[in-house]
Amino acid sequence: MNRVVTRIPPSPTGRLHIGTARTALFNYLFARHAGGKVIFRSEDTDRARSKKEYEDEIIEGLHWLGIGWDEFARQSERTARYTELLEKVIAEGKAYVSKELAKDDPEREVEVVRLKNPGKEVVFEDLVRGPINTHTGELGDFVIARSRTDALYHFAVVVDDMDGGVTHIIRGEDHIPNTARQILIQEALGAERPQYAHLPLILDEKRAKLSKRSGATSVMDYRAEGFLPEALVNYLALLGWNPGDEREDFSLTELVGAFSVEGIQKSGAAWNREKLLSVNQRWMRKLSDDQFFAALEASRPDATELASVARRAVPLLKERARTFGEARALLSGELACLFAAPELSRETLRAKEGERGTAFTKAGLEAVLHAAEALPESPDAETAKAALMPLADAEEAKEKGGRGAMLWPLRYALSGQERSPDPFTLFALLGREESSARVKKAIAILGA
């Protein structure tokens, strides 16, 4: 068999869509698995809608995912070749020039090129769906060029696939209706027929075709949200393909090894954001704390340096955040208290005091201050807990209202928030000195 050649042919008429990325990934995996070649082709024949900035974004996004190619082509640069082959099929009597009134302007006469349609039944063997038959009679002699020098999309695609030696066309099943038309053009050109594999559509949670209404559909939006490319690739690969066993975690290299057309399913593939989040969290947790911190810094729009307390918060972020966006939200929300000493309210400090009185609250905080002296500057949360929890468990504290009576003012003194991580975690993140300073401030607020 010929060396495998696949193609990634996006139309640069919009942002990099999840579906485009998935199709690109499957073409990449199939070719790399077989030791073959990938051609990237910008299908920019729609001059009104194609934009260079979309092409740039598509390329950047695919590269971000780790998808590369061996050859690059742009349809707008190949018009001379299309014209040459149009002339050839006209000369051979397989297509003809037809003088007609322009659709958009019935006053104007144009010379379109129509394919002589033999009107037969076209059967092709789809690698995913089996044989597909189409009666091409009803297509009539369809138009393949707006003029002798202006080939239409289907003609351009077939010429490009032929010239590129494409052996496998892997694309969304919404292209099935185009296939018979393209096969007729191939036959007119005497091109070899590639093999086809049409992928199931990506459906949203309501089982409708994934669209903007279903949520984010642009790869770059996922990047901005703080997803890892490894996670997105892993998730996209499993949208319509499965390895035939229970494995769920795949790096790109592992996917290249495992990929096969036989694993592609026929039925629609459901987009599941919760699943994507959990795949992403697994990939985030595979990072070392230093890698995680670097990725977090890089993921922030202002990319300023984070304080060292944020570095200490990495294990907590790994536990809680499913994207770097969620990690950023924690740092600016629940964990904002790590970066600036809070304003404390006397009322809130005393909120759980009940009958016990302010002297009790104050004594508890003083006991913490005392116990903290024996701690190192940067204890871990377990060490801080071992030193401080006994105070909350002490007989007197227990009698007077249990752990909460003692831990609430401490947690509030450290965070200034009603919601925050537990006081031992905060103590460890802030360090002994900062924690003690905050406790002292709380004691001062409680007054003499």
Separation of alpha carbons 264 and 25, rounded Å = 13
Angle between helices 52-65 and 18-33 (to 10 degrees): 50
Residue with Cβ nearer ligand GLU (9 or 200):
9
Q: Which stretch binds ligand GLU (CB under 6 A): 9-17, 64-72, 191-199, 438-446?
A: 9-17
CA torsion angle 289 291 294 296 (round to 10): -70
Separation of alpha carbons 142 and 100, rounded Å = 13
94 binds ligand GLU (CB under 6 A): no
CB of 45 to ligand GLU, least distance (A): 9
What lies within 8 Å, CB to CB, of 58 at 6+ separation is: 10, 12, 16, 20, 42
User: CA geometry: angle at 263 spanning 258 and 264, to 5°?
Assistant: 125
435 binds ligand GLU (CB under 6 A): no
Residue with Cβ nearer ligand GLU (161 or 230):
161
Please count the CA atoms within 13 angstroms of the CA of 136 that sit on its side-chain side: 21
CB of 170 to ligand GLU, least distance (A): 8
322 binds ligand GLU (CB under 6 A): no
Shortest CA distance to 392 belongs to which of 375, 355, 367?
A: 367
CB of 118 to ligand GLU, least distance (A): 22
175 binds ligand GLU (CB under 6 A): yes
171 binds ligand GLU (CB under 6 A): yes
Please count the CA atoms within 13 angstroms of the CA of 309 that sit on its side-chain side: 21
CB of 270 to ligand GLU, least distance (A): 21
> Six-digit token pair at 118?
């033999």
415 binds ligand GLU (CB under 6 A): no
CB 430 within 8 A of CB 309: yes
What is the bridge-based pairing of β-strands 130-135 and 168-172? unpaired
Which residue of 43, 55, 204, 326 would you call a contact of ligand GLU, by CB under 6 A?
A: 43
286 is catalytic: no
CB of 52 to ligand GLU, least distance (A): 16
Residue with Cβ nearer ligand GLU (177 or 257):
177
User: In angstroms, what CA-CA distances link 125 with 6, 94, 154, 169?
Assistant: 17, 25, 20, 12
Q: State phi, psi for 274 to the nearest 5 degrees.
A: -60, -40
10 binds ligand GLU (CB under 6 A): yes
CA torsion angle 436 441 445 448 (round to 10): 70
Residue with Cβ nearer ligand GLU (175 or 320):
175
Q: Which residues of 417-441 are buried (b: 16+ CB within 10 A; e: fewer)?
A: beebbebbbbbbbbbbebbbebbeb
Residue with Cβ nearer ligand GLU (24 or 413):
24
Q: Which residue is nearest to ligand GLU (CB)?
A: 171
Q: Which stretch binds ligand GLU (CB under 6 A): 3-11, 200-208, 307-315, 362-370?
A: 3-11
CB of 44 to ligand GLU, least distance (A): 9
Q: Which of residues 108-167 bind ligand GLU (CB under 6 A)?
A: 157
Residue with Cβ nearer ligand GLU (6 or 234):
6
Shortest CA distance to 176 belongs to which of 146, 208, 199?
A: 199
CB of 43 to ligand GLU, least distance (A): 4
Residue with Cβ nearer ligand GLU (54 or 271):
54
Q: Which stretch binds ligand GLU (CB under 6 A): 4-12, 99-107, 202-210, 382-390?
A: 4-12
Which entry of 209, 212, 362, 440 is annotated as an active-site residue?
212
Q: Which stretch binds ligand GLU (CB under 6 A): 6-14, 70-78, 302-310, 344-352?
A: 6-14
CB 3 within 8 A of CB 211: no
Residue with Cβ nearer ligand GLU (167 or 361):
167
CB of 233 to ligand GLU, least distance (A): 19
Q: What is the DSSP letter of 43?
A: -
CB 171 within 8 A of CB 63: no
Interacting residues toward ligand GLU by CB under 6 A:
9-11, 43, 157, 171, 175
Active site residues: 212
